[in-house]
Amino acid sequence: MVRFGWLCSHESYQPEMLVDQAVRAAEAGFDLVLGSDHFHPWVDDESAAGFVWTWLGAVAARTDLELATSVTCPLYHYHPGLIAQAAATVDRLSGGRFMLGVGTGENINEGPLGFEFGDYRERIGRMREALEIMRRLLAGEKLDFAGEWYTTDKARLYSPPVGKLPILMAAGGPQSATFAGRRADGLITSVKKPSDTIENVIDPFKQSSAEHGHAGTVLATRWTVFADDREQAWRALGTMRGLRAEGRLEAVDPMVLRERADGMDRDEILDKYTIVHDVAGLIDVYRELVTDVGADYVSIQVASTDPDRVLDIMKTEVLPELRKLDCA
């Protein structure tokens, strides 16, 4: 049975607002709440960037939801041992309800703190070591590790997780998906065209996961904008518009991304998103993730000018319909 998650965007809302939003998501019937992890946001004029790990503790105390990061980067300003400690702590505070979602990151979270953001080859090499360190620490080992990128000396978690804590890795292509299947417990992938995602991401992941005896959990996500018209859609995307600006992987200053985004044609940015205007549109957007993709979790990510209204709609109309589709 598919479980449904709601993404709380830390680039868009202050953390105290997102605690309340997570409570609303629980009331709406979601099974999981996910938090993004950013040091800097995508623009500097209407944005936020709370510390997701503090927020997760607050949400653990306020709800009975499963919790996850979507995603955190354990490669530069975080040492993987520190992320293992943070994940284990959240797992204990939530009574074993935490999943650690990781990815290879963006420079906007690393460069501002003085870290040189490497190319893909470096980052996947770092991820290989990071996953090993985190997995071994979470399993209770006292760890001596001397890798190319990281070192530990008798490192151990003295507040370990309450049970096996799954690690899911974000991937958008076959190379990363195969890597995730080999070294992680699950996959996080953003779906645009389901057939492409299945062929290029999910199938390689599942094949690799099966070969290495891993759980093979799939969390599929899709960004959607809920708006009456394109003007309202632009306002809904205000905090995220820098995400589509040129050079977003290399940038360190949200001001630069905001300036670049505001210099672009609005339609060029809006056309990169799925914009829906009514309940039927929301159901249709996520229908394929339930019926075609074969995901264990479907993460619903909706930009809007009124998230409370969207959560009300999710509770009364969208989630009940999606659960019917899952049972059909």
* Residues in CB range of 121: below 8 A, 6 or more apart: none
Predicted local confidence at residue 112, as pLDDT? 97
CA distances, 82 to each of 85, 138, 192 (Å): 5, 11, 33
Q: What is the pLDDT of residues 149-199, one digit of tens each?
A: 999 999 999 999 999 999 999 999 999 999 999 999 999 999 999 999 999
CA distances, 81 to each of 46, 84, 92, 149, 160 (Å): 33, 5, 17, 13, 12
Element (H, E) at 235: helix 230-236
Element (H, E) at 167: strand 167-170
For residue 328, is pLDDT > 80? Answer: no
Predicted local confidence at residue 214, as pLDDT? 86
Structure tokens given for 42:
């995508």
Whether omega before 71 lies within 30 degrees of 0, making that bond cis, reads yes
For residue 327, is pLDDT > 90? Answer: no
277 counts as catalytic: no
Q: What is the pLDDT of residues 18-29, one digit of tens each?
A: 999 999 999 999
For residue 248, is pLDDT > 90? Answer: no
Q: Work out the mean pLDDT of the chain and round it to a whole number.
A: 96
Predicted local confidence at residue 215, as pLDDT? 82
Active-site pick, 38, 40, 79, 214: 38
Share of the chain above pLDDT 70, in %: 100
Predicted local confidence at residue 326, as pLDDT? 86
Pairing of strands 151-155, 143-146: antiparallel
Share of the chain above pLDDT 90, in %: 96
Instruction: Classify domain 3-327 at the CATH topology level.
Output: TIM Barrel (3.20.20)
User: What would the DSSP string read from start to end of 9-36?
Assistant: -TTTS-HHHHHHHHHHHHHHT-SEEEE-
Active-site pick, 106, 110, 129, 288: 106
Instruction: With beta carbons less than 8 A apart as the criterion, state whether 98 and 162 touch.
Output: no
Closest listed residue to residue 72, CA positions, set 27, 35, 121: 35
106 counts as catalytic: yes
Average pLDDT of the segment spanning 69-88: 98
Structure tokens given for 61:
């105390």
pTM score: 0.96
